[in-house]
Amino acid sequence: MKLKKIMAATAASVMLCTMTACGESTSSSGSAANNGSDPAVSGTTAPSINSGTSAASSDAASNASGDASAAESAASTAESVETLDVGDKVFNIGICQLLEHPALDEATKGFKEALVAKLGEDHVKFDEQNAQNEAANCATINNKFVSANVDLIMANATAALTSAASATDTIPIVGTSITSYDVAFEGADWKGKNITGASDLAPLDQQEDMIKAIFPDAKKVGILYCSAEPNSKYQAEEIEKYLKEDGIEYKEYTVADSNEIQAQATTAANECDVIYIPTDNTIANAAENVKNVVVPAKKPVVAGEEGICKGCGTVTLSISYHDMGYKAGEMAADILANGKKAGDLEIGYSPVTKKYNKEICDELEVNVPDEYAAIKQ
């Protein structure tokens, strides 16, 4: 299709706009996702860990570097964004987000910004729905999208993705905030049809390296996660393999829901030297409860993503959920404007960044390397 270059100021302005939701539609049932061939998967690697300094001494440099990088990235994006000529077409896009918390919110925000930037503000309408952390609500929302015959469904988190796949095998589905698509579908062959998206997985071997580097004296690691989230279990099992290889003892502390978090966090803090929390929606939504346990107990948390680290952690190897959502939005634009098939697009991975929570690191006297960026509070 014909491409029109957007001026930097225009692109920056467009990406800041906020879209409102469309009206509701009637519900209907759909068919399950079909089998398909395996698309290729691409990824990135994180930088190596260097020698450490105190959190306080590295904070100013980290913030300055982070702010400069963010400004440079934003300017680069604004200058390079191209909008696709779609004529008079207006695309209706259903967004099913599992629940409201900062990481998922940023993913949705980035997704919408990308579509507005790529297709134009007048060519996209979003019906944005929140399932309030209930799988049954995801099914209701996605069935309504199918009944309304939306042009594309964005599924934000695992339960939203799997219910969308059950609702339709024809409408394109773009996932985001999904750690492993294979794990999400529990071994079912989902590939090559109407599903693609972006992943929030940061390399687990490098996360385990981080535990060793920052806490070299740790003898036992507690792994805290929600057993109802398959992707959390997958991460726990993978990190355990690396801990075992290095001779570090570990123990799982699982919760069925948020009501059990404080008790399990307390037990983990009493029994372990360090607590690891993977990307986990249930824990992320109640990170303050974990903080209220681990900080008084002087037990550090290594988190699988920035949102959890901001709430209760010391350090993290994390992606930007906004950037991941933006990447998913670009994929959606390619499907809608260029006629690409979702199943032909590779699952997208985002670069990872080493970050730390200055407040908690200072409180627990945790030293972090200079290369770590302070999380903005």
Residue found under tokens 């061939």: 37
- Helix residue ranges per DSSP H, the chain: 8-15, 55-80, 102-119, 135-147, 158-167, 181-184, 204-214, 230-245, 261-271, 281-284, 287-297, 306-312, 321-338, 358-364
pLDDT exceeds 50 at position 170: yes
Could you please state the CATH topology (level 3) that the domain comprising 3-44+82-200+320-352 is classified under. Rossmann fold (3.40.50)
Tokens of 51: 């020698």
Least Cα distance to 157 among 220, 230, 225 occurs for 230
Least Cα distance to 55 among 328, 324, 309 occurs for 309
Looking at per-residue pLDDT, the higher value among 316 and 8 belongs to 316
Residue 13 confidence class, pLDDT cut points 50, 70, 90: very low
Q: How many CB atoms lie within 10 A of CB 219?
A: 11
Across residues 75-101, what is the average pLDDT?
A: 79
Parts of the chain belonging to CATH 3.40.50.2300: 3-44+82-200+320-352, 202-318
- Gap between the Cα atoms of 362 and 69, Å rounded: 24
User: Rounded to 5 degrees, what angle do the CA atoms 94, 137, 336 make?
Assistant: 15
On average, the pLDDT of the chain sits at 83
pLDDT exceeds 80 at position 322: yes
Burial environment of residue 85 by CB neighbours within 10 A (0 to 12, 13 to 18, 19 or more): middle
pLDDT exceeds 90 at position 41: no
Query: Percent of the chain beyond pLDDT 90?
Result: 74
Looking at per-residue pLDDT, the higher value among 74 and 337 belongs to 337
Q: Is the dihedral of CA 127, 151, 134, 224 positive or negative?
A: negative
Residue 147 backbone dihedrals phi, psi, to 5 degrees = -60, -35
202-318 placed in CATH 3.20.20.140 = no
Residue 315 confidence class, pLDDT cut points 50, 70, 90: very high
- pLDDT per residue over 334-376, tens digit each? 999 999 999 999 999 989 999 999 999 999 999 999 999 999 9
Across residues 203-213, what is the average pLDDT?
A: 96
Tokens of 254: 């699982």
Residue found under tokens 């983990």: 268
Across residues 220-236, what is the average pLDDT?
A: 96
Pairing of strands 249-255, 220-226: parallel
**What one-letter code names the amino acid at 206?**
Q
pLDDT of residue 101: 87
52-56, 59-63, 77-81, 336-340, range with greatest mean pLDDT: 336-340
User: Rounded to 5 degrees, what angle do the CA atoms 9, 377, 282 make?
Assistant: 105
pLDDT of residue 86: 78
Query: Percent of the chain beyond pLDDT 70?
Result: 79
CB 202 within 8 A of CB 304: yes
Distances (CA, A) of 56 to 48, 77, 90, 134, 357: 21, 32, 50, 41, 11
pLDDT exceeds 50 at position 328: yes
pLDDT of residue 76: 42
Specify the pTM.
Answer: 0.74
Across residues 311-335, what is the average pLDDT?
A: 96
